[in-house]
Chains A and B, each alone.
Chain A
Amino acid sequence: MKEVIHTPVKALEEEEYHINMGPQHPSTHGVLRLVVSLQGEIVKSLKPHCGYIHRGIEKMCEKDTYPQIIHLTDRMDYLSAHINNHGVCLLVEDALQIEVPERVKYIRTIIDELTRIQSHQLWWACFGMDLGGLTCFFYGLRDREKILDIFEESCGSRLLHSYYTPGGLMWDIHPNFQKSVKDFIKYFRKKIKDYDRLLSGNIIFMERTKNVGHLSKEDAISYGITGPSGRASGFSCDIRKHHPYGVYDKADFREILFTEGDTYHRYIARMDEMHESMKIIEQLIDNIPAGDFSAKMKAVIKLPAGEYYQRVETARGEMGIYCISDGNKTPYRIKFRSPNFSNLGVLDHLSRGFKIADLVAIGASLDFVIPDIDR
């Protein structure tokens, strides 16, 4: 029989107490439970307990065919649903060495960037709300609706799209797509100024976020913090730049890098990313080439036996898919490297010694999506 390992329970220090933030708590944005050990208001240590929304997606993937897996990846990071789908599609296409039409690459890139913008909009909305500015929440959601309308028009769905298929797209974009995207960019360029006026330039906001939760570049690398949170610490980790997929190599954009690595710069990094995403979309939207919306695919997709790895840049960081195939139509084993899981690990390191209100701000700046942590 396996021996049970007892970890010694550390006695609490004097005047130290625990509180459970979550699984039902307004600022954890889902069913995440943080056991916070406090001394007065100061966080001494913190222990995340995840698994409240674990659905066994990786196990389910072993029973599903590759096109079916796409539908499961929607349900991991539901705010980057398109980008997750893109990862699976690229994995299958690279394994089978299928050349997807240029049109598909353009459309996928544009939709990925729209996904990134809407994800950051929701993050901005929640960030404001977590700091106590409830008005931000409504402003963010109001503008996110516009992107969801565009998605609904072309993909038929607003949250869990499953629009990409191995080899192409489910169907072609709506004839209105280009016009509505351009309208949105015009609209949002105006509205993002409001975001800055309402929150970024606010003195209370700056006091709350500057020099709070500092993450050094070394720590960012060793904890595996990717995405805007890692780049705010100076860790150049943008998959779109380093291993371009889609048509990112044809677009001119800047990788947002800061060296400060505090909550404020994680915020600014995401705000700047929205500008960069709009720049990418503007460059691509008029140049979508004509052609098929999907490559010719076999009815049953079987990957040759072997190991495959594909990574994409979601709104929260690097999402990796590691797949072992034994030549069947279902994978032998699949493992998702989700950005949120790695980002959650650094929360304890960042919030030690700060106040409980800072913990909320730091958590919001790391932008967790709980179903992506648990999978």
Chain B
Amino acid sequence: MASFIYDFSLLTKPIHEALYHWLPPVWALIAEMTLIGLIFLLFYAVVGLFLVYAERKVCAFMQNRVGPNRVGPYGIFQTIADFIKLLMKELIMIKNSDKLLFNIAPFIVIIASFMAIAAIPFAKGLHAIDFDIGILYVIAVSSLGVVGVLLAGWSSNNKYSLIGAMRSGAQIVSYELSVGLSLITIVILAGTMQFSAIVEGQANGWFIFKGHIPAFIAFVLFLISSTAETNRGPFDLAEAESELTAGYHTEYSGIKFAFFFLAEYMNMFIVASIAATVFLGGWMPFHVSSWTGFNNIMDYIPPFVWYFGKTAFVIFLMMWFKWTFPRLRIDQLLTLEWKYLLPINLVNILVMAFIVLMGWHF
């Protein structure tokens, strides 16, 4: 009965067929899109709330505190209470701000992260769209968010916001390269850009193990540059609170601020998902070749547990960075990318290509 937790297409296929059976194709497509949109909206809210809670707890334990513990058991409803508060807050309009850009900026940020989530395979068969250029799509879409950040900083009519936005622009344009190149390293190994094929390719060993040292280097590079791309510490220069008060979202209040806040956590979730999918095997269980018994036990754990477990691990790593390291300076940030990460990445790609050509990978 519960076999669909191992293969979600058993659940989604009958729904798909039934819709196309009852409705004309256009309406069936619209119904499917609406359904998926609603599910993602719900998923988005739940993951956002959970991540905010998780970050507060993780950072609290790293700082000798207990974190939220008043609202509900262990404070699990704290974030819900916070979001209700944010919803009820006044939306302050700034005098002499560019009203149109000021209002659409948070939506651009949140739509960009919403689009990226569509391409991620959560479990076997649990996949909104399986592009054959999935990685390219995700890279393209996830860098759209910076447009919203730039608009927010520009339209706020606040110099702190503007500085934050300009920093963010320089940062994301630079680190986008490293993110792309480190993913391309794995694309060379996998031979495909399709997420489902990448995951299938890791059935007998995750790419981080299969690709020798270059894959590991690519993983580390991806982790660093994707942390920078999501504007999180130690790369949170765009909102450096000790320098720029709150950076690009200084002037936002209420639900618009909540959008920026939520988008930050969702972007973290998305890059962690990509790291988990591309390097750590996505929803593939951990297999050791020729250990049949061990592999069977691993297969009993449902794919989505594997997927969320790996994503949570990467997210924890990113939180660990944030609450340990001090912040970089803008010129050091760019130096790190252009003088260190990018050359390492380029050499790494060559090494990986060589290994693949010689057939030295597992």
Contacts and interface: CB of A to CB of B under 8 A. Distances in A.
Interface of A: 17, 19, 25-27, 41, 128-135, 137-139, 142, 198-199, 202, 204-205, 207-208, 355-358, 360
B242 interface: yes
**Which 7 A-B pairs give the minimum distances between C-beta atoms?**
A132-B327, A131-B326, A133-B326, A138-B63, A27-B242, A357-B329, A130-B242
22 contacts: A26-B242, A26-B245, A132-B233, A132-B234, A132-B326, A133-B327, A134-B63, A134-B323, A135-B323, A138-B64, A204-B234, A204-B325, A204-B332, A205-B326, A207-B328, A207-B329, A207-B332, A208-B329, A208-B332, A357-B237, A360-B242, A360-B243
Contacts of B328: 204, 207-208
Contact of A131 (B160, B163, B242, B245): B242
Question: Do most interface residues of chain A lie in helix, strand or loop, or is the interface mixed?
Answer: helix
B245 A142 contact: no
Contacts of A138: 63-65
B16 interface: no
A74 to B, nearest CB: 28
Contact of B243 (A128, A198, A357): A357
Given A17-B159, A355-B329, 4 more contacts: A132-B234, A208-B327, A357-B240, A357-B327
B241 A26 contact: yes
Nearest to B244: A356
A19 B256 CA distance: 25
A343 B328 CA distance: 26
B325 A19 contact: no
B62 interface: yes
B331 to A, nearest CB: 7
B320 to A, nearest CB: 11
B251 interface: no
Nearest to B160: A19
A207 B331 CA distance: 11
Nearest to A357: B329
A25 B329 contact: no
B30 to A, nearest CB: 47
Contacts of B62: 135
B63 A135 contact: yes
A138 B245 CA distance: 20
A41 B326 contact: no
A134 B167 CA distance: 21
Interface in B38-63: 59, 62-63
A241 to B, nearest CB: 33
Given A19-B160, A198-B324, A358 B245 contact: no
Counting chain A CB atoms within 10 Å of each CB, the highest count among B64, B163, B243, B327 belongs to B243
Nearest to A134: B323
Nearest to A364: B242
A261 B181 CA distance: 41
A234 to B, nearest CB: 26
Given A26-B245, A27-B243, A142-B64, A355 B326 contact: no
Nearest to A363: B242
A128 B241 contact: no
A132 B62 CA distance: 15
Given A19-B159, A129-B242, A135-B63, A202 B326 contact: yes
